[in-house]
C-alpha cells in the first residue's frame, strides 16, 4: 500500500550550482528505486541555499550553509528504511528527515 510522505534534504554547499540538479535527481532516484513516485520537489523560494542554525561537522569541516529541498512522494512504508539507508550513504546529503503526511 502506498502512503504519502514529505522529505526534507539538506545538500552540502560544496556541490556546485550546476551539479545540484544532479544531486537532487539522485535522491529522486533513491525514491524510485524504493518503488515510490515523486510528485513534487521544492527547491526554490523559500528553500534553496540557506544558513544553518548551527554548524554541522561533515567530512572534517564545519558546514554553515546548505541547499534545502522538500520532496513530496508516495512510497510503500516497508521501503522507507532502504531510502534512509541510501541517503545516509550519500556524501552530498548533510541531513534528511522523512515524515508521513496525513491521509484525508
Q: Which CATH architecture has domain 2-100?
A: 2-Layer Sandwich (3.30)
What's the burial of 72, exposed, middle or buried (CB within 10 Å: 0-12/13-18/19+)?
Answer: middle
pLDDT for 8 equals: 96
pLDDT for 74 equals: 95
What residues pair up with 74 in beta bridges, in sequence order?
4, 37
Residues in the chain with pLDDT < 70? 103-104
- Quick check: pTM over 0.75? yes
pLDDT for 71 equals: 96
**Residues 3-31 pLDDT 10s:** 999 999 999 999 988 899 999 999 999 99
In Å, the largest CA–CA distance within the chain is 44
Amino acid at each position: 500500500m502506498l502512503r504519502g510522505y514529505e522529505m526534507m534534504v539538506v545538500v552540502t554547499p560544496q556541490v556546485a550550482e550546476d551539479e545540484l540538479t544532479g544531486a537532487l535527481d539522485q535522491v529522486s532516484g533513491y525514491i524510485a528505486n524504493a518503488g515510490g513516485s515523486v510528485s513534487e520537489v521544492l527547491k526554490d523560494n523559500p528553500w534553496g541555499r540557506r544558513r544553518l542554525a548551527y554548524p554541522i561537522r561533515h567530512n572534517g569541516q564545519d558546514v554553515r550553509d546548505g541547499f534545502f529541498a522538500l520532496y513530496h512522494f508516495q512510497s510503500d512504508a516497508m521501503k522507507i528504511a532502504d531510502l534512509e539507508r541510501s541517503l545516509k550513504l550519500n556524501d552530498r546529503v548533510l541531513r534528511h528527515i522523512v515524515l508521513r503526511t496525513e491521509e484525508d
